[in-house]
Structure 1
């Protein structure tokens, strides 16, 4: 609805924060609205625009509180166009994983911000159109199937103007969309936080472009279920003790039989995850030139490249695996990790039997490619069934290969290695290390209880 009944009040100053903020308040047909600015000059400018609109006799929208003139120009651009511009701006410097996350979040948000236009395609087709054709920069010129072309035309027609997002109901619909899966069921907390962060940054980009005066998501606070914060600590139940780790690394050699050697080919790979606490992508990027492997004693490895599984749609090389520097480090910066004699032996035996790939990497598939996550996960599943007791197989103990890294870090901490040294070897900050990891090695409860009893003098 429109209304000519508009009142604009004087600017209020909020001095309760560290830095004062300036509040512009006005009402349309009795409904109050406000905008907050960091400086008085910005607040004065916005208030002056409101006053000019009232002097010109412009009608104000009773939902957004804005005059028609505000809804033109940049604010009239659709959310679809904003999302495409945001992806264009971020694509080149984003990793493959970030591109995947970015397009996933926006493909979830865009269909939630549309007008009631007839002929809405199914959720599956809309997601296919956005994820496989519209959002990825290299794929926009691909020939589109009929259903995708229809979906794109519908989105271009139905997408809401960016200015409409100041309406609280649209911001709430946006939050609800990113918190759900395609089938309408609640998404995992981590998925929700990742998606919301992407959409929030997209709307911050709109503020930078002066499409919006403030980020509407700043006004929405989503409460977590039961009021609990998301669990960030490592679940102690997933962590194997050193004996269990050795049994798993022995059992993996039996997977796939002697001729296929699918398990033996990955024994040292899993060893790097446990003894060096490397991430799977870091182990896949390890080259023979990165290793110092003496016949006796400790050796060392330099981790300087990671090859995470990402998908061809998101990598610049059109390969399934991305090629990046280490997490949270500058390109070319390496992480030096001393490795114990058991891992030195595993790596020497691996090199003797399987050599390296053409690029010098240690761990490759039978065809010489980067080992797929699905492949080493399948081998690990079979390994657990061979090495663990039936009750342990059905438990969460070492469910994922990544749990070997958790076990390695926990074992270092429990061995008395100072936290800064553990953090340096694992590629964490000390703060993150102490926040996430705890003394959670399976099988040490009795030992800990004995220590407590001795200290009590019993």
Structure 2
């Protein structure tokens, strides 16, 4: 119990003791004492107690400590807090975000230790943190529990977890700027000690910040301490380098070239067509179902989709499968997005359904042995098609390096065709801000043409008689 009923008495000296200088104080009905060898030590402790009284801190009747010291004593370690943070976030976030949280925490936690004596090898410690400490699993009642409670880790993993549990700093130590800087420095490096990519750092730092915010919510910290350190995340260049985005002609040749790569290439022609003509994300195309396709005999059709199936690994999904079916990116879980598709894609998709049918759940595209289409499979087809179309010099550049380039090409085509940016953003599933950030050069070029059209209209208006 906390109380303000406190008295701090004068230092008592007992010459017959090894520690002759004793500080005594009373908290409520209980008396407490602490002996020191030197008078200066005793005087320092008495000064701390008096300072707590001046700060109007209540004292604990059980331990005799001021409130601030009691919180420090009872504060969990960073490692314990990080595990509590994972348990709080896990049920409500996507499988991909779960893996990102584990990755970020496994990167910075080894930096938040009292010392490195007896430390396990870095790769062992990372595996222990990433795959065990910061991972939850379903128990027999389908409730989320820490993996370490449901499985017995190998001996070397158990030893690593025991070490980090003993050596982890207190969560309150993160109020110290030097400790914060160590954590941020760790987030800026790869496992080999080299500088991490800017996008990687900017993905991990918000997770660290969110974990600190949760510490404030749990009243373990009073404020988020990141502003105590003069540290800036590396800048990212989000704008697409359009030197390497294929134009309309090259995009069509590349799609046609996939057909020449054998039976799997023929099966995936419509997959690549959706990336270009509908500017879909690969994870959206892999989940595209027949029921979402409006394919008239003539004219434009429409695709309506409301889910994507990125591959993240079975350790992170609710179902234990390697694919995580979730809502559209940056949309409400049940939101849908409709995209009008030109007659050329209508024909390609119709031919695909007539030739290959659909999976039992209605999906248009399957892996060669059934199941979900893997990025490795369509990536290999794309790589072969690219090498067959590009010159040796162009193939050595990032030109159309990945299938995702077709999505960039599709969005660019819409913009250069004069489609309003707001409509392009809607069809592509972007926010306006993201569209302007990634496609700034294309939008700027379209604005220039629009300005020229307005200027010509104004000139024609001036030349009209009687005006």
TM-score in terms of structure 2 length: 0.79
Equivalent residue for 2:12? none
Deviation at 1:377, TM superposition (A): 1.5
Correspondence for 1:41: none
> How many Å apart are 1:238 and its aligned residue?
2.4
SS in 2 for 1:296: coil
Aligned residues: 396
1:324 maps to 326
| Structure 1: distance between partners of 2:220 and 2:195 | 31
Residue of 220, 228, 247 corresponding to 1:211? 220
How far apart are 1:412 and its partner, in Å? 0.2
* Cα distance change of structure 1 residues 167 and 376 upon mapping to structure 2, 3 Å threshold: same
1:230 correspondence with 2:236: yes
1:48 CA drift (Å): 2.7
Seen in structure 2, the aligned counterparts of structure 1 residues 279 and 113 have a Cα distance that, compared at 3 Å, is same
Aligned to 1:275: 277
Which residue number in structure 2 is paired with residue 250 of structure 1?
A: 256
1:48 aligns with 2:56: yes
Q: Give the 3-state SS of the residue equivalent to 1:48 in structure 2.
A: coil
Contact preservation (8 Å) 2:279, 2:428: yes
Shift of 1:251: 0.5
Cα deviations by residue, 1:256-301 (Å, 9 ceiling, x for unpaired): x2xxx12112111111111001111111111001001122211110
Please name the residue that 2:386 is paired with: 384
User: Does the 8 A contact of 1:299 with 1:344 survive in 2?
Assistant: yes
More off after superposition, 213-222 vs 296-305: 213-222
Q: 1:296 to 1:172 in 2, by over 3 A?
A: same
- For the residue of structure 1 that corresponds to 2:340, the secondary structure is strand
- Counterparts in 2 of 1:422 and 1:210: CA distance versus 1, 3 Å: same
Determine whether 1:93 maps to 2:95: no
Q: Is contact 1:4-1:58 (8 Å) kept? A: no
1:19-418 alignment runs, 5 A limit: 47-49=55-57, 68-73=69-74, 75=75, 77-116=76-115, 118-138=117-137, 139-140=147-148, 141-223=150-232, 229-255=235-261, 257=262, 261-418=263-420
- Provide the C-alpha distance between the structure 1 equivalents of 2:184 and 2:216, rounded to a whole number of angstroms: 18
Per-residue deviation, residues 73-116 of structure 1 (Å, max 9, x unmatched): 2x2x1111101110110100100110010000001111111112
SS in 2 for 1:92: helix
Contact 1:108-1:127 at 8 Å conserved across structures: yes
Cα distance in 1 between the residues matched to 2:321 and 2:59: 56
Structure index of larger Rg = 2
State the TM-score, normalized to the length of structure 1. 0.80
Q: Relative to structure 2, which stretch is displaced further, 78-87 or 261-270? A: 261-270
Consecutive unaligned residues in structure 1, runs of 5 or more:
9-25, 29-44, 60-65
Distance in 2, Cα, partners of 1:143 & 1:375 = 35
Alignment partners' CA distance in 1, 2:99 and 2:337 = 26
RMSD between aligned residues: 2.9
Using the alignment, how far apart are the partners of 1:382 and 1:210 within structure 2?
A: 56
Partner deviation per Cα, 1:406-429 (whole Å, 9 max, x = no partner): 111111000000111111111112
**Gap regions ≥5 residues in structure 2:** 1-40, 138-146, 457-467
Aligned to 2:460: none
| Contact 1:78-1:162 at 8 Å conserved across structures | yes
Tell me by how many angstroms 1:117 deviates. 5.3
Contact 2:287 2:307 in 1 (8 A): yes
